[in-house]
Structure 1
Amino acid sequence: MTPSEIQQAADTLWQAAQHGRPVAPLRDSWPAMSIENAYAIQQRNITRQLANGARRVGCKIGLTSTAVQRQLGVDQPDFGVLLDTMAFGDSEPIPVSALAQPKVEAEIAFVLRDDLAMPLPTLADAIRAIDYALPALEIVGSRIADWNIRITDTVADNASSGAFVLGTTPRSLSDFDPRLCGMVMTRRGEPVSTGAGAACLGHPLNAVLWLARTMVRMGTPLRAGELILSGALGPMVSVAPGDVIEARINGLGQVRAVFQAESAEEKQQ
């Protein structure tokens, strides 16, 4: 893709986000788009949001499930950038109208105490750099109509990022086992998704290490204080206005996302 085509694709996603109208898959208009092109498109829109006052607070890792990788024809995860504008507090009402075809997945979030900027971070480096972990809900969203995505579509769309909610029970890595911890996610008390840490690339720290090395290679290493959403522990579920989603992760605690009910005006639209 030429720089002009990359900008056109970025503008297409930007307008979709601004107006809340999903667009056709980018691969239909730009069939030659590579993953490198897709990350360039992602960066164009992140830069635009930063220029508008948003702040980078970390990164999310996607495609950590081998089943989803097979579905999209890839053999590696992807990443998106987390901004402060995506963050909601535990049980804070979330306006569904601000989201794009939202789905929710439960994850382990890690917060860094130190930079991970060495040329080739090791697992020991990653463990040493982590300050604490939190239970998290990632609310993924797609600006691509009907979630009709392939790898380049989701990467360009900031890895289908939407919003996130963090729990309030920080735990040291020595306090729980990220690989073995079980997860149950409920909608209004009814179980809708189950899983465990091993579902995330075999171990959530494998995902952290992949991200650390990738970000160093791209020249934007992870920094102290940043947040890492390490990937889904179980299947994602769709949400609707009025839903209450809660995830409990053994040894780590719980986190709740509350989605605002539609107003009378919204119901009439």
Structure 2
Amino acid sequence: MDTAWDIGRVADTLLEAERSRTARTSLAEEWPDLDVERAYRAQDLALRRRHEQGETTVGIKLGLTSKAKQQQMKGTEPSVAWLTDAMELDGDRPIPHDSMIHPRAEPEIVFVMRDRLRGPGVTAASALAAVGSVVAGLEIIDSRFAGYGFTLPDAIADNNSSGVFATGPVVRSTEGLDLALEGCLLEVDGAVVDSAAGASVLGHPAQALAFAANQLARRGHAIEPGWLVLTGGMTNAVPVEPGARIAAHFTSLGSIVLSA
């Protein structure tokens, strides 16, 4: 049997790991040719597989938006991945702990797009001009790699450790908001475990949005009207234990509370 690695095998291996809740070791260790370009191709193929299963693209998510995370992963820029409707938590639905491997929570500033945004040449100012509104977000990431031990290509191929996400009820215009100074407290079971401001996301979340538009353009994609853009974790990601209560409290964007 031919067991050679290729783009299709990478996509299918990670989708199966997600379905079976099976953590594995680095793919890049087995396939040294898995670079960033090949990883994005595998990510896009996995999205097509999700579409074939009835999922719909609802937006994008960014990873590695802090200098510390980039240094940790030996990357020089953020990474971009996909959001589908199957990843969105609605209403009072709890975190699906029994369908995840090792979930972790991180708060995010989320843009809701009004206009189509396509690179190249998108700046933070032109990106922000395409935004319809801003909401709070709480993402529950879930890597398919044991102990979150992965390379940058691994993480990209794994759709930036996508799990599920929720958005808050407070909807604000970008006008009058200083998103670089938008603060957030992350709370687990009533105890504050971390805090950050929007400046932790590339200096300003609009920089993350501009980066995403330009990066997607290199892959032949654009950010579409109505899409959500999760601009990247503001704090470190904290483990979510069964039965835990996770809350993110923002300065201007309200609060999100999820239970596992």
* TM-score computed with the length of structure 2 as normaliser: 0.95
Q: Please name the residue that 1:179 is paired with.
A: 180
Q: Is the 8 A contact 1:90 1:255 kept in 2?
A: no
Q: Distance in 2 between matches of 1:103 and 1:205?
A: 24
Q: Is the 8 A contact 1:80 1:158 kept in 2?
A: yes
Q: Please name the residue that 1:137 is paired with.
A: 138
Equivalent runs, 1:1-269 vs 2, <5 Å: 5-89=6-90, 91-117=92-118, 119-259=120-260
Q: Is the 8 A contact 1:90 1:257 kept in 2?
A: no
Moved over 6 A (4+): none
Alpha-carbon RMSD? 1.4
Q: Distance in 1 between matches of 2:101 and 2:134?
A: 27
Q: CA deviation at 1:121?
A: 2.0
Q: CA deviation at 1:77?
A: 0.2
Q: Please name the residue that 1:263 is paired with.
A: none
Give the residue type in structure 1 aligned to 2:99: A
Q: Is the 8 A contact 1:100 1:142 kept in 2?
A: yes
Give secondary structure in 2 for the equivalent of 1:27.
Answer: helix
- Any stretches of 5+ residues in structure 1 without a counterpart? 260-269
Give secondary structure in 2 for the equivalent of 1:94.
Answer: coil
Q: Is the 8 A contact 1:165 1:256 kept in 2?
A: no
Q: Is the 8 A contact 2:7 2:42 kept in 1?
A: yes
- Identify which range, 204-213 or 5-14, moves more after superposition: 5-14
Q: Is the 8 A contact 1:13 1:23 kept in 2?
A: no
Q: Distance in 1 between matches of 2:170 and 2:46?
A: 33
Give the residue type in structure 2 aligned to 1:42: Q
Give secondary structure in 2 for the equivalent of 1:16.
Answer: helix
Residue by residue, what CA displacement relative to the aligned partner does 1:239-262 show, whole Å, maximum 9, x if unpaired? 011111110111111111111xxx
Number of matched pairs: 257
- Any stretches of 5+ residues in structure 2 without a counterpart? none
Identity percentage over the alignment?
35
